[in-house]
């Protein structure tokens, strides 16, 4: 019971003894245990966030909407982490609305498109052209893809497209809109009038050599259009600052110009930590999530808010997504599995399910995770929606009709990983043929109501299998078999001739006994059989795979593997 709870984090029905304890599930801190005939409600992580937000009552008494915000720096292509911040915040917003239905709320997705271009991303075309604009606001850099009106416009457009596909409907704000329109003018004037108070917060956190020239304001040089400027004086009575274009930014050097500009109308922006505080103050933000790497920035931005007489929002950090080597995924590098790749390998709904898991745990995102997550999602779909808090939250947080394909039901007994292994073993790159194999296989029960979804899953499995081919062994002979492995394969082929292919457990036991009798390492032995059957070193339960492939296919695959390995060994002996 506890293992299922850890996996799904949903309501469970338990019986007999009472034993409650606190545990960390995939979805956060929960209370679970056994109580006769009683459903134990699990507290999801978004409910914990609402508990924190509920203490902030300022807007609840005057009927103003509670503002949820997410932030995106469009310095590179949006990745899963960018999308995740909007999705997770939407889950929290839904939980808040469920608890406080009479309090209105808004979700703002803010893009800092006036951030300066510090480097050229590795995953964009026309790098030489982009390099010419280092140090300029992202909204002033041409689109390297030649589609949008600016570099940031392209990146923001990609994010909007992803969010629309999933049914998320935040209000989109950008720095350029807020600065140029004058929406931030009042806040900028307040910062100018309280420069020393802001410095008192920020300067102690900087290196001594940086403190001398640091300013909350970043003027855009009127000549070269870059942030290669240093503030030389403040003129609060005129709402202006003086500057010299005499430093470096993103590898670009200042042009030597000096000037005096207004802090209003988009002629300046403020640095990151101050900009975050300005945004919170001017938009009235009540809640925002941020990556673990921004915890210190959030603390400083909160102190700046307080120095300006403003209450900072409730903040919540999340752990970072990592690539398969354990490195943080980056917009500028494009490492880790991309949203486009995940969507080609598995249903969109599997991404939403993945993002319901606790954000307090760092996770490596790669192709293997996609398969595992899809298996878990199919298992989740076997639970009635009425008793399934996760599905209700996923439905409610997205626009109606977007992520509710096939009524979100699945009752068949096979999962996605098994389907991928079958595709690899069958060697058939045809959706209809694989789908027919599933429907006609006497050892497999495909529920009629799952037929359409199964057809879609076959399409995903075929694309997933194509993605695996680059990492597969080029042929069966790539594994140099030992004498013991050859004899074990010969023995297994003999025993399969009389085996009952309707009994997966018996087939599993048989393969185990054959390997053990030859004193083979069982991990290596099973990996060898997976390679022989699917050309992958891992797979589903071997007895089930053999049963579904049937006697003829199983024997043929194993015999071909054995013959190829023996021929390769003979060639090696001749060459030596």
Tell me how many domains the chain contains: 4
Do both 394 and 289 map to the same domain?
Answer: no
In this predicted model, what pLDDT tens digit does every residue of 59-112 receive, in sequence order? Answer: 555 678 999 999 999 999 999 999 999 999 999 999 999 898 989 999 999 999
**Residue-by-residue DSSP string for 497-513:** TT--TT-HHHHHHHHHH
Do both 119 and 203 map to the same domain?
Answer: yes
Average the pLDDT over 176-195 and give the result: 98
Cα 501 from Cα 550, distance rounded (Å): 6
Do both 511 and 386 map to the same domain?
Answer: no
Cα 263 from Cα 269, distance rounded (Å): 8
Do both 178 and 154 map to the same domain?
Answer: yes
Whether residue 553 lies inside any domain: the answer is: yes
Q: What is the pTM of this model?
A: 0.86
Whether residue 92 lies inside any domain: the answer is: yes
Whether residue 332 lies inside any domain: the answer is: no
Do both 433 and 520 map to the same domain?
Answer: no
Q: Is residue 333 very low, low, confident or very high in pLDDT (cuts 50, 70, 90)?
A: confident
In this predicted model, what pLDDT tens digit does every residue of 263-302 receive, in sequence order? Answer: 999 999 999 999 999 999 999 999 999 999 999 999 999 9
378: containing domain: 339-468
Do both 131 and 219 map to the same domain?
Answer: yes
Separation in Å, CA 461 to CA 106, 344, 371, 409, 535: 38, 9, 9, 19, 15
Do both 80 and 204 map to the same domain?
Answer: yes
The domain boundary, picked from 296, 322, 348, lies at 322
Asked if the model's pLDDT at residue 386 lies above 70, the reply is no
The domain boundary, picked from 468, 485, 501, lies at 468
Whether residue 330 lies inside any domain: the answer is: no
Average pLDDT over the chain, rounded to whole? 86
CATH number of the domain at 75, please.
3.40.50.620
Whether residue 331 lies inside any domain: the answer is: no
Whether residue 329 lies inside any domain: the answer is: no
Do both 110 and 224 map to the same domain?
Answer: yes
In 3D space, the residue among 409, 354, 411, 414 whose CA is nearest the CA of residue 386 turns out to be: 409
Whether residue 517 lies inside any domain: the answer is: yes
In this predicted model, what pLDDT tens digit does every residue of 474-517 receive, in sequence order? Answer: 544 456 789 999 999 999 999 999 999 999 999 999 999 999 99
Residue that is written with structure tokens 């720095």 in the block: 175
Whether residue 215 lies inside any domain: the answer is: yes
- Percentage with pLDDT > 90 across the chain: 67
Do both 55 and 157 map to the same domain?
Answer: yes
Q: Is residue 408 very low, low, confident or very high in pLDDT (cuts 50, 70, 90)?
A: low
Cβ–Cβ < 8 Å for 78, 40: no
The domain boundary, picked from 440, 468, 496, lies at 468
Do both 155 and 191 map to the same domain?
Answer: yes
Higher pLDDT pick, 534 / 221: 221
Cα 256 from Cα 254, distance rounded (Å): 6
CATH number of the domain at 503, please.
1.10.10.350
Separation in Å, CA 281 to CA 71, 278, 285, 504: 15, 5, 7, 63
Cβ–Cβ < 8 Å for 260, 241: yes
């Amino acid at each position: 019971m506890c293992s299922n709870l850890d996996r799904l984090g949903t309501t469970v029905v338990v019986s007999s003894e009472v034993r409650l304890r606190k545990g960390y599930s995939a979805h956060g801190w929960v209370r679970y245990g056994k109580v006769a005939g009683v459903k134990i409600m699990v507290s999801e992580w978004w409910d914990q966030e609402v508990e924190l937000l509920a203490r902030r009552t300022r807007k609840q008494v005057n009927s103003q909407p509670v503002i949820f915000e997410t932030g995106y720096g469009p310095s590179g292509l949006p990745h899963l982490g960018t999308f995740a911040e909007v999705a997770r915040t939407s889950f929290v917003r839904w939980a808040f609305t469920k608890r406080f239905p009479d309090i209105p709320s808004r979700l703002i997705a803010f893009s800092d498109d006036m951030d300066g271009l510090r480097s050229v991303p590795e995953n964009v075309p026309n790098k030489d052209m982009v390099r010419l604009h280092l140090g300029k606001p992202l909204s002033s850099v041409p689109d390297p893809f030649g589609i949008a009106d600016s570099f940031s416009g392209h990146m923001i457009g990609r994010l909007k497209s992803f969010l629309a596909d999933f049914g998320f409907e935040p209000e989109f704000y950008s720095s350029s809109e807020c600065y140029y329109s004058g929406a931030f003018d009042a806040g900028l004037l307040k910062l100018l009038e309280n420069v020393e108070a802001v410095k008192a917060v920020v300067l102690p956190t900087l290196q001594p050599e940086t403190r001398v020239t640091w300013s909350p304001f970043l003027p855009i040089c009127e000549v070269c259009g870059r942030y290669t400027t240093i503030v030389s004086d403040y003129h609060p009575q005129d709402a202006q600052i003086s500057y010299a274009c005499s430093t470096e930014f993103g590898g670009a050097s200042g042009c030597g110009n000096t000037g005096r500009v207004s802090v209003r109308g988009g002629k300046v922006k403020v640095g990151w930590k101050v900009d975050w505080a300005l945004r919170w103050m001017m938009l009235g933000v009540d809640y925002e999530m941020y990556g673990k790497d921004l915890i210190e920035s959030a603390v400083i931005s909160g102190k700046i808010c307080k120095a300006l007489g403003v209450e900072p929002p409730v903040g919540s950090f999340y752990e970072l997504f990592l690539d398969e080597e354990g490195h943080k995924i980056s917009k500028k590098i494009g490492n880790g599995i991309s949203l486009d790749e995940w969507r080609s390998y598995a249903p969109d709904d599997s991404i939403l399910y993945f993002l319901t898991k606790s954000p307090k745990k760092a996770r490596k995102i790669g192709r293997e995770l996609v398969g595992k997550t899809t298996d878990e999602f199919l298992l989740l779909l076997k639970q009635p929606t009425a008793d399934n808090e996760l599905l209700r939250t996923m439905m409610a947080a997205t626009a109606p009709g977007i992520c509710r394909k096939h009524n979100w039901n699945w009752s068949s007994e096979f999962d996605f990983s098994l389907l991928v292994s079958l595709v690899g073993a069958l060697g058939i790159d045809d959706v209809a043929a694989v789908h027919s194999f599933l429907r006609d296989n006497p050892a497999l029960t495909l529920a009629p109501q799952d037929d359409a979804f199964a057809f879609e899953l076959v399409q995903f499995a075929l694309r997933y299998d194509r993605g695996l081919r680059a990492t597969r062994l080029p042929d069966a002979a790539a594994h140099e078999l030992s004498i013991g492995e050859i004899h074990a394969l010969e023995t297994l082929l003999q025993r399969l001739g009389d085996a009952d292919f309707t009994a997966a457990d018996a087939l599993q036991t048989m393969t185990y006994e054959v390997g053990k009798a030859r004193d083979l390492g069982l991990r290596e032995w099973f990996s060898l059989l997976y390679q022989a059957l699917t050309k992958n070193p891992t797979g589903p339960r071997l007895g089930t795979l053999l049963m579904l492939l049937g006697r003829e296919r199983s024997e043929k695959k194993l015999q071909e593997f054995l013959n190829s390995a023996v021929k390769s060994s003979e060639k090696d002996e001749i060459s030596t």
